[in-house]
Amino acid sequence: MGCGRMSDPNLVRHAYDRGVNFFDTSETYVNGDSERAIGQAMPHLQRERVFVVTKLRVEREESEQSIVDRFRRSLGRLRTAYVDGLYMHGVTEAAMVKHAGFHAAIRRLKAEGKVRHAGISSHGPRGAAGDAMDRVLLAAAEDGRFDLMLLVYSFINREPGQRVLAACKRRGIGATLMKVTPARLELKPFDPDDPSEEHARMIGLLIKRGLTREQAVAQLKVRLEQHRADLQQNRATIDAFVARYGIRTEEQLAENSVRWALGNPAVSTVLVSMNDFETIDAFTALAGTRLTGADSRRLRDWNVTFGRGYCRHGCAACAGLCPHGVPVSTVMRYAYYFARQGRQRHAMERYAALDGLDGARCLDCDAPCRGACPYGFAIQAQLMTAHQLLSLA
């Protein structure tokens, strides 16, 4: 159970009663309330039958004592004598896997019986700086001191995760997956005479950059047509696919994605954010089920269909290529939060915090990123689509 937005102990109890035995939280989730909710539910759980992990975002120069102090506060909120895993949270650089303070804290806390296993999680780089997820986690596997990993892996975003999963299997590291359901973005039609709010904003941006309204409309029209063409190949396949399988909801896709991921023997478990009883009921019903041949074929087709329209979490193949320094992977992760996780407000606020290093930069850019994605992702088109989705101005 991914507890990133969960703050109700009854949800923990319900998940446990429905068979969930893995709870993933962090000191920062819901300002500590996620840990508190697990703590309040703890008297209703058999402690030895659940695996509870929490995470700390460790600063580069942070001391052992500071990490131990923060962890003790987490433990207090969780109302348990120990956690099954303490993770270094959201690591963006491979060098951090050698963090002396973290490893010293883990040694001490293991000796005290407060922590059973050391873990690490990564989404890859934030912006141009930092390392890809697989580089970080492979370095952690190589380091040899981590027992658990939390990584991005889905039927569309396989390759980096597969490398990490192989390393985990070789070294006996427990692998938990996050972001197992892929995103899908739409491109809205452009009517110059009656532009949508988003398109009007883009026109406004171009005018601010010195263009007349006519020039701005013309430029935006050209760009959007170009981007629509970029996406057209996917569009046609999407329409055919949806018609062929009668896909109506993205829930169908999400459920099959989880079952697909659990079918991999190197995977220990999958995190699914479950923030209400209804979601818990839907996903726990999948436990013990396996994909049928038809489901697998469907997912394979989804991969073909959407593979080019999905920016792989944790990937850094295009990092540094944008002349404006737009953090492509980060922007698309926010779009994922918006489209797949229903965290619209959160995603939009995060996007706004990029402070201009966003998809609006693509409006009048010649796109040296074109063709840079090894998976065929149309970077500029997708960034502009994400900008429509996420911009707050």
Partner 1 sequence: MRSTSLLALGLLAATIAAPAADAHAAELPELRGWRRVGRTAIHDKKTVWQAIDGAAELFVAYGFRSLRQQEYRSGRLALTVQVYEQSTPLGAFGVFARERPPDGESLGLGAASAFAAGGHCLAYKARYYLKLLALRGSLTRDSCRQLLAGLTRWLGGDDAPPRELALLPAAGQVAGSLGYTRRSCLGTRRLSNCLHADYRREGGKPYTRLVVLPGPEQSVGALWGELAAHWKVRRQGKLELIVTRLPYRGTVALVRRHGVLVGAVGVGDVAATVAVLRRWRPRVKR
Among 5, 110, 201, 221, binds partner 1 (CB under 8 A): 5
Window of 115-123, 186-194, 242-250, 344-352 that interacts with partner 1 by CB under 8 A: 344-352
CB of 5 to partner 1, least distance (A): 8
- Each residue 29-48 as x (binds partner 1 by CB under 8 A) or -, in order, gives xxx-x---------------
Residue 201 or 346 with smaller CB distance to partner 1: 346
Do 300 and 291 touch, CB atoms closer than 8 A?
no
CB of 150 to partner 1, least distance (A): 16
Among 1, 3, 14, 381, binds partner 1 (CB under 8 A): 14
Window of 6-14, 221-229, 300-308, 362-370 that interacts with partner 1 by CB under 8 A: 6-14
**Does residue 69 bind partner 1 (CB under 8 A)?**
no
**Alpha carbon distance 301, 297 (integer Å):** 6
Q: Edge-to-edge strand order for the sheet containing 85-88?
A: 22-24, 51-56, 85-88, 118-121, 148-152, 174-178, 269-270
Window of 23-31, 79-87, 233-241, 300-308 that interacts with partner 1 by CB under 8 A: 23-31
Do 257 and 282 touch, CB atoms closer than 8 A?
no
- Each residue 296-335 as x (binds partner 1 by CB under 8 A) or -, in order, gives ----------------------------------------
Residue 8 or 301 with smaller CB distance to partner 1: 8
Backbone phi and psi for residue 49, each to the nearest 5 degrees, phi listed first: -100, 0
Window of 259-267, 272-280, 320-328, 367-375 that interacts with partner 1 by CB under 8 A: 272-280
**Does residue 245 bind partner 1 (CB under 8 A)?**
no
Residue 304 or 353 with smaller CB distance to partner 1: 353
**Does residue 28 bind partner 1 (CB under 8 A)?**
yes
Please choose, from the candidates 92, 99, 129, 86, the residue with its C-alpha nearest in 3D space to the C-alpha of residue 314.
Answer: 92
Among 209, 304, 345, 374, binds partner 1 (CB under 8 A): 345
**Alpha carbon distance 15, 276 (integer Å):** 10
> Can you give the binding site for partner 1, defined by CB under 8 A?
5, 7-8, 10-11, 13-14, 17, 26-31, 33, 57, 275-279, 345-346, 349-350, 352-353, 355, 392
